[in-house]
């Protein structure tokens, strides 16, 4: 078990090292834009006709997945899946 934890720590350190510098700034800006887009689509969903809901929800799901992936790349969360499900 200790080896698994150590391996996870090594992976986390590598992720953080990769996300430093200008790449990190670019990723943070991309995440900010995706969050803004998510908020806009969610607001649109509130007033959209029922026939558009499926497409808007699909867009929301994709944005959430991309945001979660970006957060993992930044090393901001190691267990985003459990938080997203209420954990």
pLDDT in tens, 3-57: 566 777 777 777 766 656 788 889 999 999 999 999 999 999 999 999 999 999 9
Domain extents for the chain?
2-76
The rounded Cα 59 to chain-centroid distance in angstroms is 14
Longest Cα pair distance anywhere in the chain, in angstroms? 53
Three-state helix/strand/coil letters over the chain: CHHHHHHHHHHHHHHHHHCCCHHHHHHHHHHHHHHHHHHHHHHHHHHCCHHHHHHHHHHHHHHHHHHHHHHHHHCCCCCHHHHHCCC
pLDDT surpasses 50 at 85: no
- Predicted structure pTM score: 0.64
Encoding tokens for residue 74? Answer: 């930044």
């Amino acid at each position: 078990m200790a080896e698994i934890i150590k391996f996870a720590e090594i992976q986390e350190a590598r992720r953080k090292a990769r996300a430093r510098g200008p790449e990190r700034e670019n990723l943070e800006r991309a995440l900010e834009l995706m969050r803004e887009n998510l908020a806009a689509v969610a607001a649109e969903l509130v007033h959209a006709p029922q026939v558009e809901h499926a497409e808007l929800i699909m867009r929301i799901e994709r944005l959430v997945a991309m945001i979660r992936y970006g957060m993992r790349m930044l090393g901001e969360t190691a267990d985003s899946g459990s938080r997203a499900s209420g954990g």
